[in-house]
Chain A
Amino acid sequence: DTGVSQDPRHKITKRGQNVTFRCDPISEHNRLYWYRQTLGQGPEFLTYFQNEAQLEKSRLLSDRFSAERPKGSFSTLEIQRTEQGDSAMYLCASSLGGDTTEAFFGQGTRLTVV
């Protein structure tokens, strides 16, 4: 399978714990996006990378959220001190880059904070 891969698919955590999600993009894609999706809403942009450079992070929801893409390949999204309001689907997408390329999405990580 050469699509976008996310791990884990589901995560249940206690409030206050830290969680980390991984995304493996399509191999030749140099742009990688993170989105959050809550029930009944569209994906909400969080951050994106061009290769290893994080080009937009002002839309991360709080300073508890951080993302990395250390070698320009896979990426991780970390949420520290989770809150119940963090419960959502976290989606990763990748694209080739340039103006006219579409984003391909992974199946998402469903986070439940109890």
Chain B
Amino acid sequence: AQSVTQPDIHITVSEGASLELRCNYSYGATPYLFWYVQSPGQGLQLLLKYFSGDTLVQGIKGFEAEFKRSQSSFNLRKPSVHWSDAAEYFCAVVSGGSYIPTFGRGTSLIVHP
């Protein structure tokens, strides 16, 4: 069964600093990978996705993520964080043929001024 691990429950960064949120997945073949962001009391918004091809994918709001097959990872990065990036971030995986996104428990991003 597919699973997703987000090892960091909370991450605190200063505004303007760089950010990396970790995501590891468990699945035999190449999965389809996603990052979503959720503001308090809201639904989830897609930041970016990886299906195949270039392992570095660009998303909205200046985010990018890199798929590393050897490490089973899909870490999210941003070079300079803004206060408005404070939110909950979820990594998700879909294994080919299952069509069911499985989510990690999320990482809460706190941005200090």
Contact = CB atoms under 8 A, between A and B. Distances in A.
Nearest to B4: A42
B99 A48 contact: yes
A31 B104 CA distance: 21
**Most A-side CB within 10 Å, residue of B43, B46, B102, B104:** B43
A19 interface: no
By Cβ-Cβ distance, the 10 closest A-B pairs, closest first, are A42-B103, A105-B43, A105-B44, A107-B43, A100-B51, A42-B105, A43-B103, A42-B106, A106-B43, A108-B43
Interface of B: 4, 6, 9, 32, 34, 36, 41-46, 49, 51, 90, 94, 96-97, 99-106
Nearest to A43: B103
A45 interface: yes
Contacts of B9: 40
A43 B100 contact: no
Contacts of A29: none
Most chain-A CB neighbours within 10 Å: which of B101, B103, B104? B101
